Protein backbone atom coordinates (compact mmCIF):
# COMPACT_ATOMS: atom_id res chain seq x y z
CA UNK A 1 0.00 0.00 0.00
CA UNK A 2 1.41 3.38 -1.04
CA UNK A 3 1.01 6.01 1.68
CA UNK A 4 0.87 9.53 0.29
CA UNK A 5 -0.31 11.60 3.26
CA UNK A 6 1.63 12.68 6.32
CA UNK A 7 2.34 9.89 8.82
CA UNK A 8 5.12 11.27 11.03
CA UNK A 9 7.42 14.21 11.61
CA UNK A 10 10.08 14.52 8.94
CA UNK A 11 8.43 12.40 6.26
CA UNK A 12 8.04 15.43 3.95
CA UNK A 13 4.40 14.60 3.26
CA UNK A 14 1.35 16.83 3.49
CA UNK A 15 -1.51 15.80 5.79
CA UNK A 16 -4.86 15.08 4.17
CA UNK A 17 -8.26 15.77 5.66
CA UNK A 18 -10.22 18.57 7.30
CA UNK A 19 -8.35 21.11 9.36
CA UNK A 20 -8.65 24.82 10.07
CA UNK A 21 -6.37 27.84 10.12
CA UNK A 22 -5.25 28.25 13.73
CA UNK A 23 -2.54 30.91 13.32
CA UNK A 24 -1.68 33.70 10.89
CA UNK A 25 2.00 34.61 10.66
CA UNK A 26 3.00 37.80 8.88
CA UNK A 27 6.71 37.76 9.59
CA UNK A 28 7.93 34.24 8.94
CA UNK A 29 10.63 33.07 6.55
CA UNK A 30 7.96 33.18 3.84
CA UNK A 31 5.87 36.01 2.48
CA UNK A 32 2.95 35.12 4.73
CA UNK A 33 2.05 31.87 6.44
CA UNK A 34 -1.18 30.28 7.63
CA UNK A 35 -0.64 27.48 10.14
CA UNK A 36 -3.16 24.66 9.91
CA UNK A 37 -4.48 22.66 12.86
CA UNK A 38 -2.49 19.50 12.11
CA UNK A 39 -2.17 17.21 14.00
CA UNK A 40 -5.73 16.36 14.96
CA UNK A 41 -6.30 13.81 17.70
CA UNK A 42 -6.66 11.03 15.11
CA UNK A 43 -3.34 12.07 13.54
CA UNK A 44 -1.65 11.93 16.96
CA UNK A 45 -3.12 8.50 17.73
CA UNK A 46 -2.10 7.07 14.35
CA UNK A 47 1.47 8.29 14.82
CA UNK A 48 1.57 7.03 18.41
CA UNK A 49 0.39 3.55 17.33
CA UNK A 50 3.27 3.51 14.85
CA UNK A 51 5.74 4.75 17.47
CA UNK A 52 6.18 8.12 15.75
CA UNK A 53 5.88 11.83 16.48
CA UNK A 54 3.19 13.29 14.16
CA UNK A 55 5.03 16.60 13.68
CA UNK A 56 2.98 19.74 13.41
CA UNK A 57 4.53 22.69 11.62
CA UNK A 58 2.29 22.49 8.55
CA UNK A 59 1.47 25.76 6.83
CA UNK A 60 0.06 27.29 3.69
CA UNK A 61 2.64 29.90 2.71
CA UNK A 62 4.06 32.03 -0.04
CA UNK A 63 7.54 31.86 -1.47
CA UNK A 64 10.64 32.20 0.73
CA UNK A 65 11.63 35.77 1.53
CA UNK A 66 14.57 37.10 -0.49
CA UNK A 67 13.96 34.77 -3.44
CA UNK A 68 13.64 36.48 -6.78
CA UNK A 69 12.07 33.55 -8.67
CA UNK A 70 9.37 31.06 -7.77
CA UNK A 71 10.96 27.87 -6.50
CA UNK A 72 10.19 24.63 -8.29
CA UNK A 73 10.25 20.98 -7.29
CA UNK A 74 9.22 19.71 -3.88
CA UNK A 75 10.94 21.92 -1.33
CA UNK A 76 7.98 22.34 1.06
CA UNK A 77 8.64 19.61 3.67
CA UNK A 78 4.91 18.86 3.78
CA UNK A 79 3.64 22.43 3.70
CA UNK A 80 1.54 23.88 0.90
CA UNK A 81 3.43 26.56 -1.01
CA UNK A 82 1.74 29.02 -3.33
CA UNK A 83 2.89 32.11 -5.17
CA UNK A 84 3.19 35.38 -3.27
CA UNK A 85 0.21 36.75 -5.18
CA UNK A 86 -1.84 33.68 -4.22
CA UNK A 87 -0.92 33.87 -0.50
CA UNK A 88 -1.87 37.57 -0.49
CA UNK A 89 -5.30 36.65 -1.86
CA UNK A 90 -5.75 33.69 0.51
CA UNK A 91 -4.64 35.91 3.43
CA UNK A 92 -7.32 38.48 2.62
CA UNK A 93 -10.05 35.84 2.30
CA UNK A 94 -9.35 33.91 5.52
CA UNK A 95 -9.27 34.37 9.28
CA UNK A 96 -8.37 32.15 12.22
CA UNK A 97 -10.86 29.31 12.24
CA UNK A 98 -11.34 29.17 8.46
CA UNK A 99 -11.86 25.50 7.47
CA UNK A 100 -9.26 23.92 5.20
CA UNK A 101 -9.76 20.62 3.40
CA UNK A 102 -6.61 19.05 2.00
CA UNK A 103 -7.31 16.48 -0.69
CA UNK A 104 -4.87 14.05 -2.34
Number of folded domains that form the chain: 1
Is position 11 within any domain? no
Domain of 69, in residue numbers: 17-102
**Domain presence at residue 55:** yes
pLDDT, tens digit, for every residue of 51-79? Answer: 999 999 999 999 888 776 666 667 788 99
Is residue 58 situated within a structural domain? yes
Report the chain's mean pLDDT, rounded to a whole number: 89
Q: What is the CATH number of the domain that holds 72?
A: 2.40.440.10
* 1: in domain: no
pTM here is: 0.86
Query: How many helices and strands, by DSSP H and E, does the chain display?
Result: 2, 5
Q: What's the pLDDT score for residue 66?
A: 78
Judging by DSSP bridges, how do beta strands 80-81 and 59-61 pair with one another? parallel
Amino acid sequence: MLITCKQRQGDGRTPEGRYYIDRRIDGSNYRKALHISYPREEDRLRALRQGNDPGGLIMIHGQPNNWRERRTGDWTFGCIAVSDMEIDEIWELTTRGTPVEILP
